[in-house]
Amino acid sequence: MNKMLEFNDVELYYDHVYALKGVSIDLEQGETVALIGANGAGKSSILRAITGLAKLKSGSVHFEGQQIDGKNPADIVAGGIAMVPEGRRVFPYMSVKDNLLMGAFTRGRDSDVQQTLDSVLERFPRLKERFKQSAGTLSGGEQQMMVIGRALMAKPKLLLLDEPSLGIAPKLVQDIARSIVAINRDEGVSVLLVEQNSRMALSISNRAYALSTGNIFISGNSKELLHDDRIKAAYLGGEV
């Protein structure tokens, strides 16, 4: 049986500087897998490689048994992968409603779009309260909820999240973490989570890979990694 995602021995360069050097990761259907590490470790480069936004020098990416590296990014989205980019990237002068509906553009005239929208608003009640507001008037945490909701409008099988806690108030970070758990549990969406908040990432994921300068430093069960001395020293301030 094929894994949902197989990222095999990937090398990726920006100009002449390597971002990934022979990196391999995988993800089973229904899992939440975390990628942790410092800035520049290569976490976001993995997401860019999966979504076709960065060209591989070598290696391969397979999704549900099909090779997707080299495909057009729009085709990759249509195939069931949606990404929430770092920095939120909202359409600030458009309403919350229209921002969300932009996420469904690959679905064409799918009659279930309204049903998906209703589900997203049930998942994020704050968005329902602010449905007609311009997205630029939302707080950072509310914008993050909106871009996660926008990705869910594509009805993905795999959700890629790039630093969802970045610049968010601590209370809303907890809300977003709970939402990620619920999306995975209730909707059966697999999740690949890039996160500098290592404690949060390890707390809500099944497995994790820790990256250091384009290589996998250590990987394993997330709960075990929370108590691994190497992870504690490198990412958790020496304690849990």
DSSP letters spanning 155-183: --SEEEEE-TTTT--HHHHHHHHHHHHHH
**Residue pair 215/45 in contact by the 8 Å Cβ criterion:** no
Total domains present in the chain: 1
| Predicted pLDDT at 210 | 93
| Predicted pLDDT at 232 | 80
- Quick check: is 160 in a domain? yes
| Predicted pLDDT at 134 | 94
Closest CA to 142 of 160, 44, 133: 133
Give the range of the structural domain holding residue 127, as residue numbers without chain letter.
5-235
| Predicted pLDDT at 237 | 58
| Predicted pLDDT at 238 | 44
- Mean pLDDT of each 10-residue bin along the chain, 240 residues long: 87 87 95 91 92 92 94 91 84 92 77 88 93 92 91 94 88 89 94 92 95 91 90 64
- Quick check: is 52 in a domain? yes
Q: For the CA atoms of the chain, what is the radius of gyration?
A: 17
- Quick check: is 173 in a domain? yes
| Predicted pLDDT at 88 | 67
- Quick check: is 240 in a domain? no
- CATH code (residue 205): 3.40.50.300
| Predicted pLDDT at 168 | 84
